[in-house]
Structure formats: structure tokens, C-alpha cells
Amino acid sequence: MSVTSSLNQSRKAGSLFQFARFQRFDVREGMEEMEPVPFTSVQAAITLFEQKIDRNKLINGGNKDVKEAGCWFVSCGERRLPEGKEAENGASRDVADDLSTRLEMCEAERDKYKEKCRKARELFVEMGLLEAEDSPAILRGHLSRTEYLEQKLLYEMVIAEYLYMQLKQLKEEIRGAASKCSGFSAGITISMEEYEFLIRQSKEAERNVLLSEMNKMKSELEAKNGEIRELNCRLEEMARRAAMAEKAEAAVEEHLNLWKELQQQRTSASGFQNDHSNKEQEAKKMQKSAFGKAKSIGCSFRPKRSSSMLNGSQSNYVLLGKLLNIKF
């Protein structure tokens, strides 16, 4: 095998890998069928890859109705058992994460083998240039090693493509399941008994809310009535105290008027007594002067009864000198 034929086979394998990106494969079936065994040649690997692509086309085309029925069954199961669907979605996400990890590892391995293949090709070119000088056995050894590296690279690239397509398929299925779940949630159908039960529950909930609000309003009304009763008691107490104050004021005014009248009477009585005492003093002076004159002329004087006014009544009295038989 020459260098040109090897390069042509590598280009053909690359075009087949690009075509395989648009096909749908089952990763478990692909991994079971693709055993990590060395191919006899690059041409054998390409032939096996074409056979697998054709077979998967037939499987995908023949199982279309079965897949649609399975999707309908899964959608019914999703509607009836949302917990199982959530578990299945979680498992799908775990598988997708695992596949992503394996895809990254395979890409790293692919890059490594690509580098090795590039170096092998460079070495092969150098060996081709030195073909005339080296022995045929050494060239055959280098060629077999190069074919082995290309075969291994092809195997790793096929695995990477399978993992990439399976990851893409799982992502599409997850998106479709999410859209179906949203569609089912938008149009859920329930039985008449469940509908009536939900209506009764809503009415009971509304009635409970109204009862709680009414009880709250009753408690507030009782509190306000208590405040009103307390205010009425205070008003009655204030009215009673105002009436007692008015009565006390009237009694004080009455006592004050009586006291004023008594004071006036006392003032008038004291003025009358002062006038009477002044009159008695004047009468005594006149009597003394009359006695003195009568004695000087030698006439006898006989006292007479005198009268005085006391408190508006006239009273007769005898002079003290006559009563005691005093001679002047």
C-alpha cells in the first residue's frame, strides 16, 4: 500500500464521519457491536462503518410507528405518573452528563491519536523518500505501524461520533419531553367527581375565610362596644360630679348670703348700742350739772324714773343712787 492510497482512504473515512453526524444511532447497540479489536485494514473499518450506517437507516425507518406509539405511551405515563417522568428525566440527564464526560475523553484521545498519525505520516513520507536506500522489510514494518495507528484513530473517531450523536439525540428527547409536559399541563382533563370535589373545596375555603373575617369583625365590634360603655360611664360620672358641684355652689352661695345678712344685722346692732351709750353719758352729765345747781340754790332733787329704748322696746328703770339711798 502506498502513501497516496492511505491518504485517499483517510479522506473517505472523514467524509463518512461527516455523513454519520446526521444519522441517529443507539449508543448501547453501537458500543456492543464496536468491540475494541484491531481491524485488518483501514478499508475493512470503512466498510464496516458503511454497513452500520445502512442498517441504522433501516432500523430508524422501520421503527418510526413504534417510536410514535412509544412516545404516546410515554406521554400518557407522564400525565399519570409525573414522579416517574421526573425520575426518568433525571436518569436521562445523568446519562447525558456521563456521555458528555466520555465524549470529552474521546475527543482528547482523538486529538492525541491525530497527532500521532500526523507524525506517522511525516515519518512515512520520509521513509518513502528513502525507499530506494532502505530495505523492503523495514518499509513494510513502518507501513504496518502507520496502518495500525490510522486504524486506531479511526476507531476512536467512530466512538467519538457515536457519543456526540447520542448526546445530541438525548438533548432533543429531553427538550421534546419538556415541551410535551408543558402542553399536558396546559390542557389537563379531570373527571366530574374531581371537578365537583374541587368546587366544594373552593367553596369551603371561601366560607372559612368569610367566617374568619366575620369573627374578626365581631371581636373588633365587641372591643368598640366596650370602649363605648367605658366612655358612657365616664360621661355619667362627669355629669354626676357637675350636678354635685352645682349643688355645692348653690349651698355655698346661700350660706354666704346668710352670713352677709348676719353681718349687716350685727353692724346695725353695734351702731345702735354706740348711740345709746353716748346718750346715757350725756344724760348723766346733765343730771350731774342739775344736781350741782340744785345744791347750790338749796333745792332738793328727787330722782325720777327714766326710760330707755333697747332693741325697739321701751323699758323703765330706777336710778342706782335712789336705789342705794345715796346722798349727793
171-174 long-range contacts, Cβ below 8 Å, gap at least 24?
Answer: 171/96, 173/92, 174/89, 174/92, 174/93, 174/96
What is the pLDDT at residue 254? 87
* Of residues 270 and 132, more confidently modeled: 270
Checking if the pLDDT of 24 tops 50, the result is no
Banded model confidence at residue 290, pLDDT cuts 50, 70, 90: low
Checking if the pLDDT of 92 tops 70, the result is no
* Of residues 16 and 203, more confidently modeled: 203
Q: Which residue has the cell 413504534?
A: 66
* Per-chain mean pLDDT for the chain: 67
**Separation between Cα atoms, residue 17 and residue 20, nearest integer Å:** 5
Banded model confidence at residue 257, pLDDT cuts 50, 70, 90: confident
Checking if the pLDDT of 306 tops 50, the result is no
What is the pLDDT at residue 35? 41
What is the pLDDT at residue 260? 85
Amino acid at 262: L
- Average pLDDT of the residues in 262-275: 75
Q: What is the pLDDT of residues 130-161, one digit of tens each?
A: 655 556 666 677 678 878 888 888 888 888 88
Checking if the pLDDT of 114 tops 50, the result is yes
Burial 94-117 (b: 16+ CB within 10 A, else e): eebeebeebbeebeebbeebeeeb
**Separation between Cα atoms, residue 48 and residue 20, nearest integer Å:** 13
Q: Which residue has the cell 375555603?
A: 205
Q: What is the pLDDT of residues 174-217, one digit of tens each?
A: 877 777 665 554 456 677 888 888 888 888 888 888 888 889 89
Q: Which residue has the cell 419531553?
A: 177
Checking if the pLDDT of 316 tops 60, the result is no
**Separation between Cα atoms, residue 52 and residue 81, nearest integer Å:** 37
Range with the poorest average pLDDT among 37-41, 188-192, 238-242, 276-280: 37-41
Nearest to 99 by CA among 161, 185, 10, 48: 161
Q: Hey, how many other C-beta atoms are within 10 angstroms of the C-beta on 7?
A: 13
Most confident of 40-54, 132-146, 164-178, 220-234: 220-234
Checking if the pLDDT of 323 tops 70, the result is no
